[in-house]
């Protein structure tokens, strides 16, 4: 009798190792963008950072508005309450005002960053004979 030893090898690459390829490709694209147009690259990086800081406040604001809407305008949990209606409309007004101010700040920061990088990198040269 002969025994055959069969070994099953699983692909044990972790999620980090698989995602490293995508990270390398993303970094390669970022370097290319930074070389070709540094002003747009810097402003897009600042914009991404700015937007990343406000994802959680936006999600919590939407959840708050949903809760206030349910308590103020539906019959769930005892019927519509005027108190929650008032705070729903007050919250809507405050959030629109807050997001309007954030949008203005976002545009200002993005344009300022792009302008600063463009002015810094712009080099004028003259050949003197």
Q: Is residue 89 part of a domain?
A: yes
Q: Supply the range of the domain harboring residue 78.
A: 15-117
Q: Is residue 56 part of a domain?
A: yes
Residues 53-67, mean pLDDT to the nearest whole number: 88
Q: Is residue 4 part of a domain?
A: no
The model carries a pTM of 0.56
Q: Is residue 129 part of a domain?
A: no
- Which is nearest to 41 in space by CA: 114, 119, 111, 104? 114
Angle at 65 between CA 51 and CA 92, to 5 degrees: 80
What pLDDT digit, counting tens, does each position of 90-106 carry?
A: 999 999 998 899 888 88
Q: Is residue 3 part of a domain?
A: no
Number of domains into which the chain is organized:
1
């Amino acid at each position: 009798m002969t025994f055959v030893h069969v070994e099953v090898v699983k692909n044990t690459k972790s999620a980090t190792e698989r995602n490293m390829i995508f990270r390398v490709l993303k970094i390669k694209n970022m370097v290319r963008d930074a070389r070709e147009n540094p002003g747009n690259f810097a402003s897009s990086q600042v914009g991404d950072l700015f937007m990343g800081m406000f994802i959680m406040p936006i999600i919590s604001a939407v959840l708050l508005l949903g809760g206030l809407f349910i308590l103020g305008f539906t019959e769930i949990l005892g019927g519509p309450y005027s108190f929650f209606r008032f705070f729903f409309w007050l919250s809507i007004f405050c959030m629109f005002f807050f997001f309007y101010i954030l949008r203005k700040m976002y545009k200002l920061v993005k344009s300022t960053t792009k302008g600063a990088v463009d002015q810094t990198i712009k080099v004028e040269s003259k050949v003197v004979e």
